[in-house]
Amino acid sequence: MEEQTEIVGRAFVDHYYNLFDNDRSSIGTLYQPSSMFSFEGQKLLGNEDISAKLNALPFGQCRHVISTIDSQPSSFAGGIIVFVSGSIQLLGEDHPLRFSQMFHLIPTVEGSFFVQNDIFRLNYG
């Protein structure tokens, strides 16, 4: 039986990449003003800047294919670290791009989670 951390991690990953691929303009709702995002070395702070960055990426349609999801409890009470690897297939491109992404999820008083930390890197080579 999967432990709760893995269940939440998998559910979050499914939700995040579904939003990214199908309704990217809504992805900012997963972040808070204190959230931090590193995208290929560029550091951003706050849900507005993070949402603006993700919505300004130079491609429209894409499809994420997830290869692995690893989840662990964090030292923050109820928090979860989620590490994802997979590929992104861009519309009109023959070859997918490999990526890795890490999320630190923090529970909210409403019983859901928000992304406190998010680190994204393409994997070259």
Question: pLDDT per residue over 71-111, tens digit each?
Answer: 999 998 889 999 999 999 998 888 999 999 999 999 999 98
- List the CATH number of the domain containing 60: 3.10.450.50
Query: How far apart (Å, rounded) are the C-alpha atoms in residues 101 and 99?
Result: 7
Question: pLDDT per residue over 21-75, tens digit each?
Answer: 999 999 999 999 999 999 999 999 999 999 999 999 888 789 999 999 999 999 9
Range of 23's domain? 1-122
Q: Within 13 Å, how many C-alpha atoms sit on residue 70's CB side?
A: 6
Q: What local confidence, expressed as pLDDT, does residue 84 receive?
A: 98
User: Per the structure, how many domains does the chain have?
Assistant: 1
